[in-house]
Amino acid sequence: MDLDGFSRLLNPVEDRYIRENRGSAEYQKYRRKQIRIAMEVLRRMSHNAALLQTIGYGRLESRNTLVAEQAQALVDAGVHVRLYSLMGLATLHFWRFLGFIPSVIRVSEIHKLVSVSAVPAYEVFRMRATGLTDLRETGFRDALLQSL
């Protein structure tokens, strides 16, 4: 997942530039596309977190305390990812439901939610997934991290 690209997706500076230098119809088309992409990325983040939380829950009762601790850390990190991604999705769905193009102020709020909350939470989540998979074979870890 391209987290840098995702954090730039709802950039208020870029939003203002396009709004001021393009026609209204072109701006609305651009914004709808950006919101659709953001929603898809947030869905995938939440989905990935849910899948790996299942793995974490399965390892919580491990006799190896290191594995159990890493599993708990993965589960906890997944909770944060899912919370922030669901908050972002709720906001974006609300915008779509009302059928209006968000103002620059609202764009900056969702950008803040994504850049300050969801992206860092996902980075921690990836690190926790790495921690748990480091205890397994290298091929499994590499395949997992590539898909995240």
pLDDT tens-place string over residues 30-76: 878 888 888 899 999 999 999 889 988 988 888 888 888 988 999 99
Contact 53, 124 (CB under 8 A): no
Taking residues 130-141, report their average pLDDT.
66
Query: Using alpha carbons only, what angle is made at residue 138 by residues 132 and 140, rounded to the nearest 5 degrees?
Result: 70
Angstrom distance (rounded) from CA 31 to CA 55: 37
Into how many domains does the chain fold? 1
Q: Which domain covers residue 127, as residue numbers?
A: 3-147
Predicted TM-score (pTM) of the model is 0.78
Contact 91, 48 (CB under 8 A): no
Angstrom distance (rounded) from CA 67 to CA 60: 8
Contact 92, 34 (CB under 8 A): no
Angstrom distance (rounded) from CA 148 to CA 144: 6
Is residue 102 pLDDT above 70, yes or no? no
- E strand or H helix at 25, and its extent? helix 24-59
Phi, psi of 117 (to 5 degrees): -115, -60
Whole-number percent of the chain with pLDDT over 70 = 83
What confidence score (pLDDT) does residue 118 get? Answer: 86
Closest by CA to 129, choosing from 113, 143, 115, 119, is: 143
Angstrom distance (rounded) from CA 45 to CA 117: 13
What confidence score (pLDDT) does residue 146 get? Answer: 62
Phi, psi of 15 (to 5 degrees): -60, -45
